[in-house]
Structure 1
Amino acid sequence: MTIKEKHRAMWASGDYPSLAAEIVAPLGPVLVEAAGIGPGQTVLDVGAGTGNAAIPAALTGATVTASDLTPELLAAGELIAATRDAKLTWAEADAEALPFGTASFDTVISCIGVMFAPFHSAAAGELLRVCRPGGTIALVNWTPEGFIGKLFATMKPYAAPPPAGAQPPPRWGDPAHLASLFGEGVTDVRTERRTLRVDRFATGAELRDYFKAVYGPTIAVYKNIAGDPQKVAELDAAIAAAAEGVSEWEYLIYTARAAATRRV
């Protein structure tokens, strides 16, 4: 199985559409507002999943394309869009090799999506390539210091080794890392740390069990250690401890202008 096939299968496992609707839905409108999306704009959402940002963007009157590697998530998004009377295009696409022309979009966004592409430089280069000069790149990413960043750090010792050259997803929530990725390809960079309040879990163990049931990355880690009961018990305890009492999940809002002259 190729890297892309593994990622596609990981995000199709569990029930990410439920998590997107129940937990992270508020992030989409936050990103749409930060990006200044409105009528007449052409917008690409990379790693759109079920459309948490793409659907609100379309409802502003923008012309939106929602792209994702996982067709199962796009299919779920189409159903959600229909219930909200949102008109947009859904496209299966690899964030590291987008099937769109250079300078095709006024605005390129990603809401906790592109951060999961394993090869960060390739993905950042594609965001720049498809955005027109002077257009907007806007991202919402989990930070390394926030809960999801800590969750990935907790799971890392139990996960299968990443492919050579891959980088951890939460690095996209580090402004210094984004500066290294986009370099002189962007201007007018702004970053802001905020938190998403998540108060639906009474205990860390309850959150852990929810993630074990619905969240692809957590499911994949447990699958990797399924034959070792001791490691399963260790990870159970570690995730429950990391999640105990945590109700604010930190994320980074990043906005920038695509430079008139830039590397693509």
Structure 2
Amino acid sequence: MSITTDPAADRAVKARHRAIWAMGDYPEVAIELIPELGPVLVEAAGIRAGDRVLDVAAGTGNVAVPAAATGARVVASDLTPELFVAGREYAARHGVTVDWQEADAENLPYTDGSFDVVTSCVGVMFAPDHQRSADELVRVVRPGGTIGLISWTPTGFVGELFRTMKPYAPPSPPGAQPPPLWGDEDHVRALLGDRVTDVTARRQVLSTDRWATPEAWTAYWKTVYGPTMAIYRHIADNTDDVAALDADLTALAARYDRGTPGAMVLNWEYLVVTARRSA
């Protein structure tokens, strides 16, 4: 069941989420900063030529494009079709065809068992109703088919980022759960339940050296990443809060910096989960 039983309220939540991911430059984040996550998930899920693949909350195609490169038939679905412009360009540069479709992860417009593999890479984790989204992932994959997920962990850099931003953010919808919970193995196992078998989970790290200093990371992140931009817009009239959030984000990056002065290195931990739908 949805976190709200009011259809109008549910539509408002979805409209707000769509607007958040449409602002800024998420294609820059997805294509330039985290492109390696897609091939990791394609390999983990065992995607191969001829497979029918659904990538949920696909964004600009981090998984969809490398999946299509294997010869799989890929549908990339997302609540925010504004991202498909960059996604289509990304697919064209790699010489592959992807079917881009607007769809809500909590209410996928596909029949039961339509796909051999269903994936989501740091995508479905942001749908507010975790159980409803998990139910949909299980429903649309065929018996014996594979579910593959990559999610930022609660204890890693991105999980800490969301905890750092939370005091400045507007209230979440009643019942909404924190996105990084999808990076907790026990949480994902509970969501999928006994409807799946052969669950595997492993933590990995993405390292980035894109920014020279923590201050540079903060300046970049507050202008390209939709969730962070939305919070800054929420507090824009309170200069003290803006300065405090600047300081908190910079301190977070400094705490995670594993580089040298003037050459910052950040390690972003994520969880890779695969599971097979029970027959």
- 1: CA distance, partners of 2:189 / 2:56: 19
Of 237, 248, 252, the match for 2:271: 252
Match of 2:39 in 1: 29
Task: Specify the SS of the correspondent of 2:181.
Answer: helix
Structure 1: how far apart are the matches of 2:146 and 2:46? Answer: 9
Q: Residue 108 of structure 2 aligns with which residue?
A: 98
User: What's the CA shift for 1:203?
Assistant: 1.4
> 2:71 aligned to 41, 61, 66, which one?
61
For 2:50, the equivalent position in structure 1 comes to 40
SS in 2 for 1:2: helix
Structure 1 residue 204, shift from structure 2 partner: 1.3
Within 2, Cα distance between the matches of 1:210 and 1:9?
19
Does residue 1:169 correspond to 2:188, yes or no? Answer: no
Q: Deviations over 1:23-65 (max 9, x none)?
A: 1111000000000000111000001000011000000000100
User: Normalization by structure 2: what TM-score?
Assistant: 0.92
**Corresponding letter in the other structure for 2:143:** P
Match of 1:4?
14
Give structure 1 regions of 4+ aligned residues with deviation exceeding 2 angstroms.
none
Helix, strand or coil: the match of 2:44?
A: helix
Is 1:179 the counterpart of 2:189? The answer is yes
- Shift of residue 211, structure 1, vs aligned partner: 0.9
Give the paired residue count. 260
Q: Which residue of 1 aligns with 2:124?
A: 114
Give the letter for the 2:170 counterpart.
Answer: A
- 1:134 aligns with one of 114, 119, 144: 144
Aligned to 1:74: 84
Does 1:230 find its partner at 2:249? no
CA distance in 1, matches of 2:91, 2:234: 35
TM-score normalised according to structure 1 size: 0.97
2:24 to 11, 14, 17: 14
Cα distance in 2 for partners of 1:74, 1:92 equals 9
Gapped regions of structure 2 (runs ≥ 5): 1-10, 259-265
Q: CA RMSD in A?
A: 0.9
SS in 1 for 2:18: helix
1-structure distance, mates of 2:84, 2:128 = 20
Say yes or no: does 1:213 pair with 2:223: yes
The equivalent position to 1:190 in structure 2, one of 179, 182, 200, is 200
- State the identity %: 58
Matches of 2:213 and 2:190, distance apart in 1: 38
